[in-house]
Structure 1
């Protein structure tokens, strides 16, 4: 059996880690993904995907990367965003962040549900998220 932490780490890729062409990917327990927009560009070979991500209380999204830029805005809740080589950022309503392509990062949700609006500008046809080991 998988522990909740390991399952969540694998599950985040299913939650937001769909291959860019597969909008019907299964969403795991604890995370709900709603794609609000998907368009080609801004340059050939890339697409921009906008997503509302609802995260249940105390869920941990383990370390992962994206094949492009992730820009987000916290709508509700409180969580901790860890990004390799950066201080932990506390996300609360009104907070925003940008993560560079292929940069390992993780999210630990607080005691209340969190809602995030995330824009990914990523290489088309690649998995949106790939799990990685925690940085040392």
Structure 2
């Protein structure tokens, strides 16, 4: 390996080790769909997914057309639901946000990993931004 290339590789390795957040995901939220199915004898579907929230991010104010429930696998976040006091949700805890209620979530330095379940009327988006 030539000296300049070797120096760049060593510098990159040191920087990555010294700043582990550089090696982490760059997306604020990584969503992985796990399951989607129709609710029998209704016009609703259930959507279950894994959400991986990066450290120190705000999800953004939004609503869902049906209820959202979730279980925190790792880390935690502050749940900000309009009309309610902020709540800290930690690993091992669950939450529920009613349909059409504006809410947001803010992670801390460890981020969060959440299994989320949405009950959505057929043909509606899972979420919509709110002002």
Name the TM-score, length of structure 1 as normaliser.
Answer: 0.74
Partner SS for 1:127: coil
1:32-88 C-alpha deviation (Å, 9 max, x unpaired): 111111000154221000011000101111110001010111111121000011111
Structure 1 match to 2:49: 51
Question: How do residues 16-95 of structure 1 correspond to structure 2 at under 5 angstroms?
Answer: 29-95=27-93
Partner SS for 1:68: coil
Q: Which ranges in structure 1 are unaligned for 5 or more consecutive residues?
A: 1-27
Q: Is the 8 A contact 1:36 1:50 kept in 2?
A: yes
Structure 1 match to 2:125: 127
1:14-38 C-alpha deviation (Å, 9 max, x unpaired): xxxxxxxxxxxxxx82211111110
CA 1:42 to 1:99, structure 2 compared with 1: closer, same or farther past 3 Å? farther
CA 1:43 to 1:97, structure 2 compared with 1: closer, same or farther past 3 Å? farther
Q: Is the 8 A contact 1:42 1:48 kept in 2?
A: no
Q: Which ranges in structure 2 are unaligned for 5 or more consecutive residues?
A: 1-25
Please list every run of at least 4 consecutive aligned residues from structure 1 whose deviation after the TM superposition is greater than 3 angstroms.
Answer: none
Partner SS for 2:60: strand
Give the alignment partner of residue 115 of structure 1, picking from 94, 113, 116: 113
Question: What's the Cα RMSD here?
Answer: 1.3
